Structure 1
């Protein structure tokens, strides 16, 4: 069977550590997260935190803290929970088959009352939840580690969330315009047979930012409509297409001085510098095309 049938959201490849991302739809019993990577040759520790949000100040609760430490040939793994900025009693698991300078495959299987962790295909530990699983909606990775891939797995990814999606086209207005660091986050689900997905920012007489994902040729491009004409499209350079049919996506758009910064599914992509940049004049966000939307935050 095609392994994509088990993917709940697009995988993340080679994220820059430290790294944190949203788990679309949160965790629930039966979900699995597969993490492949390698331990640094001089590593002392790294950690994978299953968090209730991505806040750093105040720090989000951590439902499951998975923390390998390398003081000898084999690793010891510390597991714990952070609640209201206080660590609870830690559990120590000795003799983990993780070694400095070597690659690993970790599989986290989330059940009703506990998470089961396997290393290299072999079960290694169970950890009973101390916070509700339904509150966990992010994963953070920190420390002396290189991550090759994070995969979000489920046998039935769409059933519980598809009914809650908003249809496109969708519009959001900005009565006071935009400002620098006014982040826009769009989360949604690509349709079964997608054609094109477009996100644009409009003013009364121009479109300073337009992002187009074309599923036919798997291309991403920027453009702007200034002075009654479209500019020359600028291709967004990525090692692979960042959208998948029937998969979740997250678009983060951040205006800064003279440019728009963009990240898709946690992957930063090219900056776009429109020929005319007046954030205060931008009045509307429009999203159209082959997707349903479950969160638009402006």
Structure 2
């Protein structure tokens, strides 16, 4: 059975080239959200994110929002291009949220009268619409000295369990509010460390402690030397039979990834970078799963529940 996102969700565009230019998935409407993850290389002076009305370069397409971090000035300039003319720059802001060599996530939320921009989970700025016909805004363009990991769109449905967790330490252990239920999604985004041997993502029945080890309903374990993904379950302190998946290994050193785990009545289904990878039949009742754990040779950039 194939893996598909829920209504209002689209799979990410992973490791796109820069300059990047692409259609905005679905129409730009109130509550539309754009998630952009990347890293600023050392020595970068500026980059920009544009929300545009098309791709034309001659004459140049209107730009509804030009979001332009400038490192020397330590300012983020916002502006719009309408009928070949730039408007008045906005560059106010109490802090500069970008740093060389650091990963970032920019979230752009479209509201009826403005865009709201958050960086690394913190509200950064609001930008009043200068192009009010939102349906004209159909193109995302990113250029400059920046490396992109992923671009993702959402219809803006409310997140379960209080929203995403940004840049948590690894190993990470966190509760799953309401436990696992059919249709529940877990998203783990990150970057594989250089020289990685393995990492794992566990869906557990409680955190690790001094007592007996909790049951693990899903142990998802990429192993780089063997280029194999091992999945298993731990019940009453005993591992079951390993299931190995070696036909396709979607992880690379220094590469960005997004693992999506979907709970269904009969199995967990796992996708990586938008492609269905495997399914794992339930060995432990899914409703007892209340904890997510991530450990090993990865940097986690975001965890979220849907």
What TM-score, normalized by structure 1, do the two folds share? 0.52
After superposition, give the CA deviation of every residue in 1:19-76 in whole Å (9 maximum; x if it has no partner): 9433579x9xx93348xxxxxxxxxxxxx5235xx799977379xxxxxxxxxxxxxx
How far apart, CA to CA, are the structure 2 residues paired with 1:297 and 1:57? 23
> Corresponding residue for 1:131?
65
- Aligned to 1:242, which of 246, 250, 258? 250
* Contact 1:208–1:225 under 8 Å retained in 2: yes
Select the residue among 32, 44, 60 that pairs with 1:60. 32
1:224 lines up with 2:224 in the alignment: no
Q: How many residues align?
A: 192
Q: Which residue does 2:264 correspond to in 1? A: 256
Segments of structure 1 that go 5 or more residues without pairing to the other structure are 1-18, 35-47, 63-109, 138-151
User: How far did 1:184 drift?
Assistant: 0.6
Alpha-carbon displacement from aligned partner over 1:153-184 (angstroms, at most 9, x marks no partner):
9865389xxxx733310011135322111111
2-structure distance, mates of 1:129, 1:196: 44
Query: Does the alignment pair 1:22 with 2:12?
Result: yes
Distance in 1 between residues matched to 2:27 and 2:234, nearest whole Å? 36
Structure 1 CA distance, aligned partners of 2:177 and 2:23?
38
Give structure 2 stretches of 5+ with no counterpart.
1-8, 35-46, 69-105, 109-141, 150-165, 207-213
Find the aligned partners of 2:30 and 2:295 in 1 and give their Cα distance: 35
- The equivalent of 2:278 in structure 1 is 270
Give the whole-Å Cα distance in 2 for the aligned partners of 1:287 and 1:260: 17
Kindly indicate whether the alpha-carbon contact (under 8 Å) linking 1:200 and 1:209 is maintained by their aligned counterparts in 2. yes
Rounded to whole Å, the distance in 2 between the matches of 1:136 and 1:169 is 25
Distance in 2, Cα, partners of 1:57 & 1:260: 33
Give a deviation string over 1:208-251, Cα, whole Å, max 9, x none. Answer: 10100111222112111124321221123543x21111121101
Q: Secondary structure at the match of 2:287?
A: helix
Q: For the Cα contact (< 8 Å) 1:117–1:124, is it kept in 2? A: no
Query: 1:184: which partner in 2?
Result: 186
CA RMSD in angstroms comes to 4.1
- The question of 1:297 aligning with 2:269 is answered no
1:127 match: secondary structure = coil
Question: Residues 1-298 of structure 1: matches in 2 within 5 Å?
Answer: 20-23=10-13, 31-33=18-20, 49-51=23-25, 60=32, 127-132=61-66, 156-157=146-147, 165-174=167-176, 176-203=178-205, 205-239=214-248, 241-276=249-284, 278-298=285-305
Structure-1 separation of matches of 2:33 and 2:293:
34
Aligned equivalents of 1:153 and 1:111: distance in 2?
6
Q: Is the 8 A contact 1:190 1:243 kept in 2?
A: yes
Residue 256 of structure 1 deviates from its aligned partner by 0.5
Could you say if the C-alpha distance between residues 244 and 117 of structure 1 is closer, same or farther in structure 2, counting changes exceeding 3 Å? farther
- Check the 8 A contact 2:51/2:64 in 1, yes or no: no
Please name the residue that 1:37 is paired with.
none
